[in-house]
Amino acid sequence: MVIREISPADKAEDLSAVLPVAQAVFNEQMPGFPLLSATRLRMRCFPDHHAVLRVFAAFADDEARTADAMALVEWEEDANPDLMGASVWVAPQARRRGLGAALYAEVLALSAAVGRPRVVVNGASTVPVDAVVAAYGGRRVEEMIRSVLDLAGVPRSRMTEAAAATDANAGYRLVRWTDHCPDELAGSFCAAMAVMADAPQGDLVYEHVAHDLEGLRERERLSVLAGVRRHVLAAVTPAGEIGGFTVFSSAAEGPLALDIWDTGVVRAHRGNGLGLRLKAAQTLWMLDEFPAARWVQTFNNADNAHMLAINRALGYRAAENWSSYEFGPTRPGGQVG
C-alpha cells in the first residue's frame, strides 16, 4: 500500500484516480440517487474561502493509477481553531485491508501537526457505523435528514399556487441570479446569509464566520472554476433588502440531480410565508430551466422542524439520516465507508 497526497481539484489524473472510490461510497450511502459526477467531486475538493483542504489517496502500489481509498481533510483559517473536518472513504471491495486505518493515521498526524484536536466527520444511516464510532471513542453531535424530491412527480399547479404571493408577503419581489450576485444586492445577500447560524446544529460546537463581499466573490469564482453553477432566488423588499433566499446548484455533467445548498429567512422577515414561497418558486425554476433533472436533494438538521415541514409540504420525502461524530485528540475518525 502506498499513500500519496493528491490534488483532484487541479489535476485530471488525480480526479480520475479517486472518482471510482467516491462513486462507490456515495452509491452505498445514497442508494438510488444518480451517480456522483466528476464535476461534483472536483467541487468537493476545492477549499472554501479562508480554508485549507488536503486530499490523500491509498493505492495498491507505486504503479497503481486507481485509488482504493481516499481521505479529505479541511479546516478554516479564520475560525474554529480547534476543529478539523475529515472524510475517509474506502471502496467496498478494498475493505478489511487496513486502508482506512492507514488513512486515519494520516488524519491524526495532520490534526496534531496543525493543533486541531477535534475531528468531526459524518456518515449515513445506510452504512452501519456504531461499532466503529464506539471503538474509536466518538460521540454523535448532530443528526441530519437528507430529503429528496422527484421532479417527475411534481404537480405544477400545486407548486404554482405555493409560489404565489400572499397578502403577508406580496411586498417582496423575487429576484434570481446564476453564478454572480448583482452588485446592488451583494451587501444585503452577505448580511442575509448570516441567518444560517440560526439553524439547529445539535451538540456540535461550531462558530459561523460572517459573510463578506470578498468571500462571496471567491466562492462564486471557485464554483465556476469547478463547473458547478450556483442559482440563487431571493425575496427583496421595496427598499432593496433581502429578506430571504434559497440556493441550489447544477452541473452540466450529471444533469439528473440538483442540490439545494442553503435556504434562510432573516429574523425580521419571518412569519410571512417566505420560506414556502421561495422553495416553491425555486422548484418551478428547476422545472423550467432543467427539464432533464429528475431528483433534488437537501440536508436539514433533524430538529429543524419548520424547514422540514416546508419540504414535506412541497413533496420532499425523507431518504436517510446522517450523523456527525466528534472524535477527541487521540481518536481517529472519518466518514465511514
What amino acid occupies position 312? Answer: R
Q: Record the cell numbers describing residue 64, joined without a space.
A: 497503481
Instruction: Return d(Cα 3, Cα 17) in angstroms, integer.
Output: 13
Given its phi and psi angles, is residue 273 left (phi above 0), alpha (psi -120 to 50 degrees) or beta? left
CB within 8 Å of 117: residues ≥ 6 apart: 82, 111, 328, 329
Tell me the pLDDT of the chain (337 aa) as tens digits.
999 999 999 999 999 999 999 999 999 999 989 999 999 999 999 998 899 999 999 999 999 999 999 999 999 999 999 999 999 899 999 988 989 889 988 888 899 999 999 999 888 988 877 767 777 788 999 999 999 999 999 999 999 999 999 999 999 999 999 999 999 999 999 999 999 999 999 999 999 989 999 999 999 999 999 999 999 999 999 999 999 999 999 998 877 899 999 999 999 999 999 999 999 999 999 999 999 999 999 999 999 999 999 999 999 999 999 999 998 754 444 444 4
Q: Within a 13 Å sphere around the CA of 191, how many CA atoms are in the beta-carbon half?
A: 13
- In this structure, is the dihedral angle defined by the CA atoms of residues 207, 210, 215 and 220, taken in order, positive or negative? positive
CB 220 within 8 A of CB 210: no
- Which residue from 252, 240, 257 is spatially nearest to 178, judged by alpha carbons? 252
pLDDT of residue 302: 97
**Buried/exposed code over 166-203 (b: 16+ C-beta within 10 A; e: otherwise):** eeebeebebbeeeeebeeebbbbbbebbebeeebebbe
Instruction: Return d(Cα 18, Cα 290) in angstroms, integer.
Output: 28
Question: CA separation (Å) from 274 to 93, 140, 143?
Answer: 47, 32, 26
CB within 8 Å of 103: residues ≥ 6 apart: 3, 56, 58, 69, 70, 71, 88, 90, 334
pLDDT of residue 333: 41
